[in-house]
Structure formats: C-alpha cells, structure tokens
Amino acid sequence: MLKNKKKIRLYIFKSNKHIYANLIDDKQRKVITSSSTISKDTKTQEKFSTNCRKAKIVGKNIGLKIKRLGIKEIIFDRGNNIYHGQVKAIAEGAREEGIIF
C-alpha cells in the first residue's frame, strides 16, 4: 500500500490480452474512473494497432478523464510491472494530456 494518501493513484493492471488503467482514491477506497483496451471509447480508436499503440490510446483516454475531473497531479502505480513497453506507453499518453506524476 502506498504511504502517500493525499494524492490519487493511477493503477496499471496487465492481463495476457488487455491492459487496464484505474484511477483510485485511497481515502474513500473506490475507483473514480478507468480505461482499458476493452472500453467502448478506446475500441473505436484502436482498430488494427500494436499493443504499445493501444496502451498509448488507453493512456490518453485516462488522461482526458482525469483532466475532466480537475485533477492535475497523481501517483503512478505500475504494480509489479516494469516501466517498459505498454506501461511506459500509458504513462506517456497520460503525460501528453498534461497529467503530472
């Protein structure tokens, strides 16, 4: 568990086929918003893309949702995944939308 409970956390989960980004508020213990490769808004953009391209679309999508909520700074929680490939693409996509972490 993360020690800093003041900021909201962006948690990344990867399965064998899909990647998920969840914005979690640890104070209230609930998911505020999420995006994944199986979300309706992401599926329309990704047609025939590579895995990292799909992950970047998920990152941009979650970045837009975070901006709409008025949140500027978050904690990036990559779980047990290394910061490489799809996880890095999600982070880059969110940063392109102005999210700071």
Residue 1 counted as domain residue: no
The CATH number covering residue 43 comes to 3.30.420.100
Query: How many C-beta neighbours within 10 Å does residue 8 have?
Result: 19
Residue 3 counted as domain residue: no
Strands (DSSP E) contained in 1-101 are 8-14, 19-25, 30-36, 74-77
Residue 86 counted as domain residue: yes
Interacting residues of 86 by C-beta distance below 8 A, sequence separation 6+: 14, 19, 51, 52, 54, 55
**Per-residue model confidence as pLDDT tens digits over 22-75:** 999 999 999 999 999 999 888 777 666 788 999 999 999 999 999 999 999 999
| Domain count along the chain | 1
Domain that residue 85 falls in: 8-96
Number of Cα atoms under 13 Å in the Cβ half of residue 98: 9
Beta bridge partners of 29: none
**Per-residue model confidence as pLDDT tens digits over 59-74:** 999 999 999 999 999 9
Can you give the pTM of this predicted structure?
A: 0.87
